[in-house]
Structure 1
């Protein structure tokens, strides 16, 4: 590669520039990794405290590696390790009192897979009794664990993709590919050959291999489709080691992988779905890097590197042989292709390789082909950072959503009997974790985010008790509220303003609301809601730009995001009576129509911006400031119409309808309630409001 033709160098540099423009650059790769790892920490801590167990959550795949783009739209892959079993590879690792599983890797098991033999808890001996349907006794008397224990039978809503669940069955996770498995501290026997291949100067280095080994491995619940013991086999996963290797790649190597996935999506998946996976492309890339010198991978050789990877992929398909990078005995392409499929793929790859880069002009993903052509012809002026800004906005938005996920799961678990005790107990656990993890930046930061939210709810719950007993809000309540005041630009302050309003301290409520309005930049701030899974539109350009420029995205969340405002039933006295109806939105006949994750319907939940305008309307009404009151109700109506990303627009309409009633505009109020029902036909307080309103209109004397 020392003598590079001018054409190849020119195309490589232009291709590198285009990939830079669509977000495949060092800045964006680092940003993706940082935020995805922060989300991983958030999810782990949330699940550990929720389940009271040693659950760990790992984010795997393209998103955390930084090897995706807006157009590729890669899945979020999450691996949950379950704590109820300890996987060992040697009898000396047996631990009394635990359910130990001995990993069996012998000639009877498919390469890359293992069996899990159940051992006794009281002695390092094999178990003899089959205790439940997930255990199986084989011909030689070993009691083995079936892989079906980590996945239920598929139904209309759950479709298995290998070991993954395409629907989140773990609270707080919607639409993610979730894999359940067990962690094994020891490196698998089948991978030790890879460890022993120590060649000086070759990638990965010996130190990198040792680091991979120290990470251990996973076993996940899926067997080889060609094995007679498919339900007994468990796939050995070295995902953490693979993630670490991907983190070590330079930007040209990452761009090469992104291009391979774009080629796969454009030329192969459309004709031969489920034939070549992105994991195969990743494996080919790692083999390619291993067989070359590192300085061969740079911007002016990108096209050469891409063709080299595609050639290796071509040869793998010809020979039906693609060895797993770490467990080479595991052939990823064994019995993978039919004769027809194989020929189609080979023809496509041959065309791309022989085109010397011109085939890339046909790629529509992220407008890659058009952008390459534009570098030669200058058809339009392209803003270089536009795609990076968009990706940054999505990342920061996802981080805010993840914080909301964790908090919602905890709150749903608490909106039951004795919720204040549960709130304070959970808050204490998080505070202890912050204290004990002083040196772990990610863990401390993640805990702090959740502590702020829980502090706000704890303070509000105490205030609700004070209000009910006709006492002033206690000092402890205000201290707790203050801890969570700046979790974002509005929601915490809105709860405090709501408390002051409900205690009759209208002037202080008005001061807080004015401060919120001054800091709520409508061009930038985005509404955050993760009570349920709903499709959002694109974030605002100003929001995206700030996210791209930021190096501390967590601090940025406090000024450019606004989460929905939530009141548990134990906080009922802290929200106006107009909002309290939302806690009882479901008549008995509607409850069966709730979704699996609709526990939020037992709370009063409203988006921050409409609640700001609603509280302004109420405070200005008390202060007899007619012009400001009319401006507030006008702003409330306007934001409901113009803001597409509200998660609780039906609640905002219900609040607007009650404001209209107070303005004696009954027809407008009825229209609001009917619009609310169009958004959510069941489990909606609008039904109650309509019945009440119609009754009062027919019997005005009862008003």
Structure 2
């Protein structure tokens, strides 16, 4: 095969087929992009609803669709603080904003700038250093230090200009970059707007879009900077995202292969000698300098070799020019002489080997798959997932990711409003509803997923503000609670049941519970929790099929979100659940992570255990003892068999209290001890154990 005259074309076609099979195909790329753009839109809607003046952008391989399961790419999130205004011209200064003037001179690293602080009430420089985050330079300008990023996000690890948040198995790690926006295109990249390569790329539309989006400044200095604490990197992330979203499938496959090569041959043992961003930059330069007709599946290997030749040239010359800011050398100060020699030698080997090395790649079983395609080994020698199985796996994780994001955004809303009164919540509901009338298609889709949860929250707060006659939930509260019932299979319904239970309306509560249980078992259902990151252990074939075939609007038919009650709602829940709001000792409170553990001040329980617990309580009240025993049995079975519960410790705590009421103290104690095995700290089980043992001692 490798000696045939037309082997490069045959190899290209087989390699394209392999990449198609592992998920690098048009359908998968578009679905990946849709998922992440939808999550980005949801986050920005909620930020606006709660008056948080930031904009989030999901960038990088995950949102571009330029990754595979084996690559395990990070999710890059850029968070832009809109309270800041970075200007390049005095005419861009804005009243009552935090304005900084972008300064570039002969001493700043190319592609970087200094930020001079300006007055908030006039377009004039500040003359006095206001705090430890600013300092004077030699000319007495007040400059902003990039070290302001330190400690902004708790529990994250500094990683260049970003904060890397470690994910859990089954979830992407996250690089969170904090940035400020400049509305105008950087002057140092003005030449790019007028440049067009051999391939008439980037197009005029792309360049116009780039000019409109301006740029960001990111808090990090250049590697060879004289002022590492004062320099800010100029980022054209939105222009770069635009370019990546306009690549054809062969160009995307070439980029994926470059990243696989990095991980397999050039960056062993997780060393980062050459970054994926450098590979992206090399690819963009190659596209700009070739005819579009070159980038076809039957030329994939030739295109890849061309990119490797360009990468080798960059390493040899210690120079990889940024795709839009040409004077910014991405490789400046990047390598030692020894590393440079080793990289150059390894890239040469790949180029000279004419593709034999492809057969040894383990990532995504690419080498084994290629051997089978080339008939080097018979079918059946290797086992790997089919293209359909990979498609289902990726889309299922994407579907679950959207659902988890919905849950997390709802938590953000609850956290924001937990200390507010009813008057402050209605404007938020109105803001959200505006997206149904004035938003774009993505905002419409996000609105439909988010709105029911906010309706339920508003209805619950209305119910708290006072019940109607005869201690019943007021008609207005019922309207809003009813409007939110279809948020998912169960959580909003169970919240309404809890409202009815608290007012003593057991008949209505029992009816809704019965309907909810029927609905729960009419579809395959996945429990979803956004309180903490946890992998989903088991997903049925039917769930995978639905996730690969249905749009995201179907999420509400197959998900059961955890049910959340903030402390303000304490009178709307059974007393057994109220203990969860006070789960932490004083010492545990001090050591909690305020950014991650805020939900520990609430009562949060998975839907199905809560459903059976409410059945148990209501049937006990109605003296339907047979139904009461069945509900308790179902609660026990659910806790024992459902691997996907997010709050198993809470389910065990309420089960233990039910067993105490059944006069089964030893079994109750066992539940509390099992609960502590799930979560040793910040667990109400500690209180229940003390209370149970104290009661036993008193009785004896």
* Band of TM-score, shorter chain: over 0.9
The match for 1:575 is 573
CA distance in 1, matches of 2:408, 2:153: 25
Q: Residues 72-102 of structure 1: CA distance to partner in whole angstroms, max 9, x if unpaired?
A: 1111111111123211111222334433222
Structure 2, unpaired ranges of 5+? none
Q: Report the 3-state secondary structure (helix = DSSP H, G, I; strand = E; otherwise coil) of the residue aligned with 1:166.
A: strand
The match for 2:532 is 532
The match for 1:408 is 411
Structure 1, unpaired ranges of 5+? none
Q: Is it true that 1:136 corresponds to 2:128 in the alignment?
A: no
- The 5 Å alignment of 1:558-569 reads 558-569=556-567
CA distance in 1, matches of 2:647, 2:41: 28
Q: Report the 3-state secondary structure (helix = DSSP H, G, I; strand = E; otherwise coil) of the residue aligned with 1:292.
A: coil
Q: Is the 8 A contact 1:499 1:574 kept in 2?
A: yes
Once superposed, what is the RMSD of the aligned Cα atoms? 2.6
Q: Is the 8 A contact 1:119 1:127 kept in 2?
A: yes
Structure 1 residues 685 and 421: alpha-carbon distance in aligned structure 2, compared to 1, 3 A threshold: farther
CA shift, 1:134, in A, is 2.2
CA distance in 1, matches of 2:580, 2:120: 50
CA shift, 1:247, in A, is 0.3
Q: Is the 8 A contact 1:217 1:239 kept in 2?
A: yes
Q: Is the 8 A contact 1:526 1:540 kept in 2?
A: no
Structure 1 residues 121 and 670: alpha-carbon distance in aligned structure 2, compared to 1, 3 A threshold: closer
The match for 1:426 is 428
CA shift, 1:53, in A, is 4.7
Greater mean alpha carbon deviation, residues 647-656 or residues 158-167: 158-167
Indicate which of 171, 174, 177 corresponds to 1:176: 174
CA distance in 2, matches of 1:83, 1:630: 56
The match for 1:390 is 393
Structure 1 residues 695 and 151: alpha-carbon distance in aligned structure 2, compared to 1, 3 A threshold: closer
Structure 1 residues 16 and 623: alpha-carbon distance in aligned structure 2, compared to 1, 3 A threshold: farther
Q: Report the 3-state secondary structure (helix = DSSP H, G, I; strand = E; otherwise coil) of the residue aligned with 2:323.
A: coil
The match for 2:455 is 455
Structure 1 residues 630 and 367: alpha-carbon distance in aligned structure 2, compared to 1, 3 A threshold: farther
Greater mean alpha carbon deviation, residues 212-221 or residues 689-698: 689-698
Q: Is the 8 A contact 2:107 2:226 kept in 1?
A: no
- The 5 Å alignment of 1:537-552 reads 537=537, 539-550=539-550, 552=551
CA distance in 1, matches of 2:152, 2:631: 52
Q: Is the 8 A contact 2:73 2:172 kept in 1?
A: no
The match for 2:350 is 352
Structure 1 residues 384 and 536: alpha-carbon distance in aligned structure 2, compared to 1, 3 A threshold: closer
Structure 1 residues 362 and 230: alpha-carbon distance in aligned structure 2, compared to 1, 3 A threshold: same
CA distance in 1, matches of 2:558, 2:273: 43
CA shift, 1:410, in A, is 2.2
CA distance in 2, matches of 1:53, 1:677: 37
The match for 1:74 is 73
- The 5 Å alignment of 1:511-530 reads 511-521=511-521, 524-530=524-530
Structure 1 residues 73 and 201: alpha-carbon distance in aligned structure 2, compared to 1, 3 A threshold: closer
Q: Is it true that 1:485 corresponds to 2:485 in the alignment?
A: yes
Greater mean alpha carbon deviation, residues 567-576 or residues 538-547: 538-547
CA shift, 1:217, in A, is 0.6
- The 5 Å alignment of 1:243-322 reads 243-270=241-268, 273-322=271-320
Structure 1 residues 138 and 332: alpha-carbon distance in aligned structure 2, compared to 1, 3 A threshold: same
Q: Is the 8 A contact 2:75 2:172 kept in 1?
A: no
CA distance in 2, matches of 1:691, 1:47: 42
Structure 1 residues 22 and 624: alpha-carbon distance in aligned structure 2, compared to 1, 3 A threshold: farther
CA distance in 1, matches of 2:557, 2:289: 48
Indicate which of 218, 224, 227 corresponds to 2:225: 227
CA distance in 1, matches of 2:560, 2:496: 15
Structure 1 residues 112 and 510: alpha-carbon distance in aligned structure 2, compared to 1, 3 A threshold: same
Greater mean alpha carbon deviation, residues 623-632 or residues 14-23: 623-632
Q: Is the 8 A contact 1:523 1:540 kept in 2?
A: no
CA distance in 1, matches of 2:457, 2:152: 38
Structure 1 residues 198 and 20: alpha-carbon distance in aligned structure 2, compared to 1, 3 A threshold: closer
CA shift, 1:339, in A, is 2.2
- The 5 Å alignment of 1:162-201 reads 162-167=160-165, 176-198=174-196
Q: Residues 337-388 of structure 1: CA distance to partner in whole angstroms, max 9, x if unpaired?
A: 1222122222322232233323122222222222223333212485321111
Structure 1 residues 422 and 583: alpha-carbon distance in aligned structure 2, compared to 1, 3 A threshold: farther
Q: Report the 3-state secondary structure (helix = DSSP H, G, I; strand = E; otherwise coil) of the residue aligned with 1:613.
A: helix
Q: Is the 8 A contact 2:23 2:387 kept in 1?
A: no
CA shift, 1:700, in A, is 4.0
Structure 1 residues 686 and 272: alpha-carbon distance in aligned structure 2, compared to 1, 3 A threshold: closer
Greater mean alpha carbon deviation, residues 336-345 or residues 590-599: 590-599
CA distance in 2, matches of 1:592, 1:477: 37
CA distance in 1, matches of 2:442, 2:210: 21
| TM-score (norm. length: structure 2) | 0.92
CA distance in 1, matches of 2:213, 2:465: 49
Q: Is the 8 A contact 1:523 1:542 kept in 2?
A: no
